Copies of this chain bind each other. A is one copy, B any other.
Amino acid sequence: MSQLSEFIAYNEDKKIVAVQGLGFVGGAMLAALSNAQDRVKNKPLYAVLGVDLSTPDGLSKIEAVNEGRPPIISSDPAMPLAFLKAKQQGNIFATTDMSVFGLADIVVVDIPFDVKKTADGYDVKLDLFLESVSELAQHINPSALVVVETTVPPGMTENYLYDIFKKVFKERDVDDKEFALAHSYERVMPGANYLSSITEYFRVYAGVNDASSERARIFLESFINTTDFPLTRLHKPAASEMAKVLENSYRALNIAFIQEWTEFAQASEVNLFSVLEAIRMRPTHHNIMSPGFGVGGYCLTKDALLADWASKEVHGIGLPLSCEGIRINDVMPLYTLQILKKLYGDLTQKHVTLLGVSYLNDVADTRYTPSEIFCNELEKEGAIVQLHDPYVADWHARSEKISNTLDDLKRLQHDVLILAVRHKLYCDLNVDQIVSFFPSVNCIVDANNILSEEKATTLRNMGIKVLGIGKGHWLCQSNPK
């Protein structure tokens, strides 16, 4: 008897949920679903199947899950615990075998929908995504519920995916009147609360019809704390899809807005952080963004483009303002480079050490990290790039070794330090430590509000040039040697 049939037999009393795609969202969904409890019978609610591709990456994720480990590394201690528990309960199993979709009562689609940025815009790659869904349709039980969690261009679930399912079901000659399809987007966050950002947060959903919405609601309530985080049902899948890309475009545009004002404030020798604190006193303005080094991650860097594509493709309209937000954010790290060039004129052979490579504080995630464009352009200027990050072991985008401990840096020369990411390690450094790890440093650019004014002043008194981006330190200090 195969492992799979053993798994099915062992879990015959449970509903089966399959998760398609074991990436950042799918990984957390496996943990949430395998740990969901039947509150009446007080036992695990679901038998959970994880499905991924037979690529090296897919296979390593499958292996991890089957060994009781998370497929994605994170700093959230709840994740390894959840996978260990699932392994002990015997209600999780991962495979490349697509035919398992036929066993599932519910399928969660967590495969990526990718956008490739080009020199003059972007390319939306529909084919890969639609082929994966088509494959799912070939295997799925036609009375299953499919919940699409992937962030997609608004209209995708109803106008593309529903048609694929109906067409394939017709080819398969199966009765699909029980088939249910809904979109529901996650708001998962990497970091220490990775798992609870699935189970303890607000959710939006919408089905292609009332029965689909109702089945989606019941499913979402089974693993989300909807008492404290009530669900919102929307009137059609396009509304749920739009909510996701809209909320991320909003955030991205507001970061771009602050970048524009950062450059103005810096030139005016105004401390924009103080200005923003004053503005945040107004309850209507409390969430205004802060200056920073750049924007990364999978959502804020592209979601507006998905919406722009849908708006252009279907209605000939487009979302130029939202896209401009993305464009501004994409080049935001070059403002730090511009400051370096103003300071030094020529960066040839300058040893520039970047503290922080991931796109977010205290995570190892380097997806679309702003460090990439910064390092590439810095290198074009002839500088010697040195990298440190306490979380990132290797970074496919660049060939340098990344130092993981500050001690590793002691033996290197450092002309300039760039404080790029608000990792706790960097925020906690005191002046003595900074001077001891970087004795040769001539200039520190604090690109993410990491140094207190007190530390900055002490360092300046020691003859080190300290520039805080958004702090208005640009012209008020004399140039470094």
Spell out A's residues near B (CB within 8 Å).
154-155, 187, 202, 204, 230, 232, 234-236, 238-240, 242-243, 246-247, 249-251, 253-254, 256-257, 260-261, 263-265, 267-272, 274-279, 281-288, 307, 310-311, 314-315, 317, 319-322, 324-325, 328
Contacts and interface: CB of A to CB of B under 8 A. Distances in A.
Most-contacted residue by chain B among A187, A202, A260 (CB, 10 A): A260
A139 to B, nearest CB: 31
Given A242-B270, A253-B254, A267-B314, 18 more contacts: A232-B277, A234-B274, A235-B271, A239-B271, A239-B274, A239-B278, A246-B276, A247-B279, A247-B282, A247-B285, A250-B288, A251-B284, A253-B253, A257-B321, A267-B315, A268-B310, A268-B314, A286-B287
B321 A328 contact: yes
B242 A315 contact: no
B322 A260 contact: yes
A311 B267 contact: yes
A256 B256 CA distance: 14
Contacts of A287: 283-287
Contacts of A317: 263-264, 267
Given A234-B278, A247-B282, A242 B268 contact: yes
Given A234-B275, A243-B275, A271-B235, A264 B307 contact: yes
Nearest to A311: B264
Contacts of A274: 234-235, 239
A270 B324 contact: no
Contacts of A264: 154, 242, 307, 310-311, 315, 317, 319
Nearest to A271: B235
A315 B284 contact: no
13 contacts: A232-B281, A235-B270, A239-B270, A242-B268, A243-B275, A243-B279, A249-B261, A254-B254, A256-B321, A260-B319, A260-B322, A267-B311, A268-B311
A269 B206 CA distance: 14
Contacts of A272: 242
Contact of A281 (B202, B260, B267): B202
A313 to B, nearest CB: 11
A446 to B, nearest CB: 18
Given A275-B246, A279-B246, A284-B287, A257 B253 contact: yes
B270 A238 contact: yes
A314 B239 CA distance: 45
A247 B264 CA distance: 14
B270 A154 contact: yes
Contacts of A187: 282
Given A202-B282, A250-B257, A275 B321 contact: no
Contacts of A257: 249-250, 253, 321-322
A274 B321 CA distance: 22
Contacts of A240: 278
A22 to B, nearest CB: 26
A242 B271 CA distance: 10
A155 B282 contact: no
Contacts of A310: 264, 268
Contacts of A271: 235, 239
Contacts of A243: 275, 278-279
A44 B309 CA distance: 63
B321 A239 contact: no
Contacts of A230: 281
A52 to B, nearest CB: 30
A328 to B, nearest CB: 7
Closest A-B pairs by Cβ, 8 of them: A267-B315, A232-B278, A202-B281, A264-B311, A204-B278, A243-B275, A247-B279, A239-B270
Most chain B CB neighbours (cut-off 10 Å) among A187, A204, A236, A274: A274
Contacts of A276: 246
A314 B328 CA distance: 22
